Chains A and B, each alone.
Chain A
Amino acid sequence: MSALLEVRDLHLRFGGVKAVDGLSFDVHEGEILAVIGPNGAGKTSAFNCISGFYRPTSGTIDFEGRSIMRVLPSTITRRGMARTFQNLRLFKEMTVLDNVKTAMHANLREGFFDTLLHTPRYRRAEEACAREAQGWLDFVGFEGDEQLYVTQLPYGEQRRVEIARALATSPKLLLLDEPAAGLNYGEKQGLMRLIRKIRDLGVGIVLIEHDMGLVMDLAERIVVLNYGKEIADGTPAQIKADPVVIEAYLGAEDDEALDDTTLTGMVATVDDEVPPSGDAGGRSA
């Protein structure tokens, strides 16, 4: 099975700062890959390189066997890679439905004169567009009013709309940048179900996330970054047992730090958003 996305030896430098320093990984169809690392490790910078917003200093990025280096972000999206943003970037003065419709821009057969003259092509395109957008909103479990402006929605719902918007571009690969940030426990559970549902559509998923519980549960493979360098790549179990990863998160400690109980400590340290009812505290006891 050839990889959907192949990143090889990716470097990104801002002046003297090495934001990404030799990152390589593959993503396959229908796979969930998590990218984790402490704050400032270069996760989002790597995402921005892959989705075309930053131009990498060196390295190669192939999507479906074709290079996507020096390609416009919009073209990358048209080829089938969608992304969400760390700090919600919905179109604030548009309704929920229009936000999702906008993402179908590149796939809609509607020309300038169709819009101006309201031809049958226009009506057909708009009807299909509204139906698809509604379908995606239902798919992500958005139960609110799709005619509201997005700023009128609670935060969790806005997250859903952003995922629906990314899906409406009809992606083969979806990059999610901290989708669980700011969500409560229940919403995170819903998000995990949703991500699995998207995976079951055959979409590859790359996930940046700080919530270790969510990552360990969801990801099939994990890439760990620290100071722009890739320090580990493996299944969740391998990552949990990796002394280098533990050191990156907790700093070097005495030998005791490397035994299995540290892991639960790591979860508790990194994931400060699990409510007290979660077992973070209970486990370490």
Chain B
Amino acid sequence: MAPQLDLALKHAPLRAPAPLFERGKPASGPRSQPGFMKLLGALAFAFLLALPFIDASAYTISIATSALIYVMLCMGLNVVVGYAGLLDLGYIAFFAVGAYVSGILTTVLDWPMWAAVPATILACVLAGIIIGGPTLRLRSDYLAIVTLGFGEIIRITANNLDVTGGPSGIHGIPTWSFGDWSFRDGLDLFGLHFSGTVLFYYFVAIVVATVGIVGVGRLARGRMGRAWKAVRDDEDAAEAMGINTYFTKISAYIIGAVWAGLAGQLMATHLTAISPNSFHFLYSALILMAVVLGGMGSTPGVIIGGLFVSLAPELLREFAEWRYLIFGVLLVVVMIFRPAGLWPATAVLPWLRRHKPQAWPATAPLESLGGDDRAEVGPAAGARPAPADPRAQDPADDGEVRR
């Protein structure tokens, strides 16, 4: 174990004593929490793949694609708000950055869409640093107000620049193409015809959303995710644990920005046109609502929240203008009855096998509490300078105080 430890840990002058007994592997299989979540994820993925075979109408695929875009956005905001606890009211700004960067590169500079992906990521990292750098020194309410301001700045800038097309925005954003062949041409395979929208849905939207969901889940469980949650729960204590809270917050901000930027690129391709009106404050609030509604810091919750926010207006379409009222009432009801969200991060599913702590073996406690007074006075006292030991100097007094 020792060489393994050296590879895993940097300088660590003080190593923990070995655990008293082996805990065994954490539970796996479909009836354990992580196993069940994997199964659920696989089922959802299979459903996404099967969807065009169930209903390949342009309407369904279009709604499914925008639902995936919303989920992607929510996953990104979940890092910022749910894990790192930074209230960001201007999150849609990064969505705008991604959409405009990819839109400008593909229309003005005629880049293929795939080549715009790294450029979008880079632009969002920079945007995250530029916006996050000065603002993340603030805490809570102040941060919310400043991010709100930045969100509006990005939108108004896009509204006034020539390169962004001013108020009318950018039109005719191409779909993905490789050389001469584009998604628009469609594809015939095994006697089935796949239209451009289905191809985009299959090969871009599903891939990006899956990578986004799995990636955030993995980051949240790793070293960086623990630091995010520590900063969220108690910033000072996190700092005292050797976590640089400023860099941790910036990292969460950058991850959130990149996720939003990729979603923005998806949206630009999906709608083929973007304008400053697509990046109103309302959308920041809507995405934030989805995260809070689903359950902050919970992957399944946030997916549900994202789906709800994107699909509910469509499903309630028959109620015409009443639908936003119904939408609002539904939200209030959910927040009253499930204040921690529909699927909170701390949820323990009742039908899963419960985690059972292993009892200490009968001999263990004695060993662990071995610093029994008598045992300690012997060798340890000899090693220390005698006058430093109160008992050595004044045994009667000591007994009196302690007994």
* Residues on the A chain within 8 Å of B15, using CB: 132, 170
Check B16 for interface membership: any CB of A closer than 8 A: yes
Question: What separation, in Å, do the CA atoms of A283 and B397 have in the docked complex?
Answer: 11
Q: In the complex the two chains form, is A170's CB within 8 Å of B226's CB? A: no
- Chain B contacts for A46, CB-based, 8 A: none
Pair B13/A145 contact, Cβ less than 8 Å: no
Contact A220 B384 (CB under 8 A): yes
Q: Does B232 contact A (CB under 8 A)?
A: yes
- Check B226 against A94 for contact (C-beta < 8 Å): yes
Decide yes or no whether B179 CB sits under 8 A from chain A: no
Q: Which residue of B8, B355, B369 is within 8 Å of A127 (Cβ)? A: B8
Which residues of B sit under 8 angstroms from A107, Cβ to Cβ? 9-12, 242
Which residues of chain A are within 8 angstroms of B19 by Cβ–Cβ distance?
A: 131, 134-135, 137-138
Q: Does B388 interact with chain A (Cβ within 8 Å)? A: yes
Q: By the criterion CB–CB under 8 Å, are B14 and A135 in contact?
A: no
Q: Are B400 and A105 in contact (CB under 8 A)?
A: no
B237 close to A93 (CB less than 8 A): no
- The verdict on A77 contacting B10 (CB below 8 Å), with A144-B357, A217-B402, A236-B394 known, is no
Instruction: Check B357 against A112 for contact (C-beta < 8 Å).
Output: no
Asked if residues B5 and A115 are in contact (CB atoms below 8 Å), the reply is no
Is B101 engaged at the interface, CB distance under 8 Å to the other chain? no
A74 / chain B contacts, CB cutoff of 8 Å: 239-245
Contact A124 B402 (CB under 8 A): no
Residue B387 CB within 8 A of the other chain: yes
Q: Would B230 and A94 count as touching, CB distance under 8 A?
A: yes
* Contacting residues of chain B (340-354) with chain A, CB-CB under 8 angstroms: 345-346
Docked Cα-Cα span, A242 to B245, in Å, equals 44
Distance in Å from the Cβ of A140 to the closest Cβ of chain B?
A: 9
Contact status B401-A267, CB under 8 Å: yes
Interchain CB contact under 8 A, A194 and B243: no
Q: For residues 7 through 28 of chain B, which have their beta carbon under 8 Å from a beta carbon of chain A?
A: 7-20, 23
A108 on the B face (CB < 8 A) = yes
CA A200 – CA B370 in complex, angstroms? 12
Say yes or no: A219 contacts B8, CB within 8 Å. no
The reply to whether the CB of B115 lies closer than 8 angstroms to some CB of chain A is: no
CA distance A106 to B13 in the complex (A): 13
A70 sits at the interface (CB 8 A): no
List residues 310-325 of chain B with CB under 8 A from any CB of chain A. none
Asked if B118 lies at the interface with its beta carbon under 8 angstroms from chain A, I say no
Tell me if A136 counts as interface (CB < 8 A to partner B).
Answer: yes
Q: Mark the stretch among B51-59, B164-172, B215-223 that contacts chain A.
A: B215-223
The reply to whether the CB of A128 lies closer than 8 angstroms to some CB of chain B is yes
Report chain A residues within 8 Å CB of B23.
Answer: 134
Q: Are B14 and A203 in contact, with the CB atoms below 8 A?
A: yes
Q: How far, in whole Å, are A235 and B391 apart by their CA atoms in the complex? A: 11
Asked if B237 and A91 sit within 8 Å, CB to CB, the answer is yes
Residues of A within 8 Å of B, CB-based: how many?
Answer: 92
Tell me whether B270 is interfacial, beta carbon within 8 Å: no
Q: How far is the CA of A119 from the CA of B397 in the complex (A)?
A: 59
Instruction: Kindly identify, within residues 140 to 198 of chain B, every residue whose CB is under 8 Å from any CB belonging to chain A.
Output: none
B230 surroundings in chain A (CB, below 8 A): 91, 94, 102, 105
Give the residue name and chain of the A residue nearest to B222 (CB): A115
Shortest Cβ gap from B384 to chain A (Å): 7
Contact with B along A199-234 (1 / 0, CB 8 A): 011110000000011001101110000000000000
User: Does the CB pair B8–A106 fall under 8 Å?
Assistant: no
Contact A146 B357 (CB under 8 A): yes
Asked whether, in the complex, the Cβ of A89 is within 8 Å of the Cβ of B242, the reply is: no
Q: Give A63 Cβ to nearest chain B Cβ, in Å.
A: 13
Are A89 and B234 also in contact (CB < 8 A) when A105-B243, A167-B16 are?
Answer: yes
Q: Give the residues in chain A near B239, CB-CB below 8 Å.
A: 53, 72-74, 77
Question: Cβ of A91 and Cβ of B244 under 8 Å apart?
Answer: no
Is B291 in contact with chain A by the CB < 8 A criterion? no
Could you tell me the distance between the alpha carbons of A131 and B297 in the complex, rounded to whole angstroms?
25
Enumerate chain B residues within 8 angstroms of A143, measured Cβ to Cβ: 360, 365
Question: Is A92 an interface residue, CB under 8 A from the partner?
Answer: yes
Binary CB contact string for chain B from 361 to 390 against chain A (1 if under 8 A, 0 otherwise): 000110011111100100010001001111
State in angstroms the CA–CA spacing of A139 and B369 once bound together. 8
Instruction: Give every chain B residue within 8 A of A221 (Cβ-Cβ).
Output: 388
Q: How far is the CB of B371 from chain A (nearest CB, A)?
A: 4
B237 touching A115 by the CB < 8 A rule?
no
A-facing residues in B117-140 (Cβ within 8 Å): none
Known: A91-B234, A135-B16, A138-B20. A237 touches B9 (CB 8 A): no
Q: Are A129 and B8 in contact (CB under 8 A)?
A: yes
- Decide yes or no whether B110 CB sits under 8 A from chain A: no
- B355: A residues at CB distance < 8 A: 145, 147
B residues less than 8 Å from A128 (CB atoms): 4-5, 8-9
In the complex, which residue of chain B has the Cβ closest to the Cβ of A111? B223
Contact partner, A213, options B9, B11, B229, B402, Cβ 8 Å: B402
CB contact list, A47-93 vs B, under 8 A: 51, 53, 72-75, 77-78, 80, 82-83, 85, 89-93
CA distance A80 to B337 in the complex (A): 47
* 11 residue pairs bridging A and B, Cβ less than 8 Å apart: A91-B230, A94-B230, A105-B243, A107-B9, A109-B9, A115-B218, A125-B9, A131-B16, A216-B397, A217-B401, A236-B390
Contact residues of A with B, CB < 8 Å?
Answer: 30-31, 51, 53, 72-75, 77-78, 80, 82-83, 85, 89-94, 98, 101-110, 112, 114-116, 118, 121-122, 124-129, 131-139, 141, 143-147, 149, 165, 167-172, 190, 193-194, 196-197, 200-203, 212-213, 216-217, 219-221, 235-237, 240, 264, 267, 278-279, 283
Q: 9 tightest CB-CB pairs across the interface, nearest first?
A: A135-B16, A115-B222, A128-B8, A145-B357, A77-B242, A106-B242, A91-B233, A220-B388, A89-B237
Task: A131-B16, A134-B19 are known; give 4 further A-B pairs, CB within 8 A.
Answer: A85-B237, A138-B19, A138-B364, A168-B16
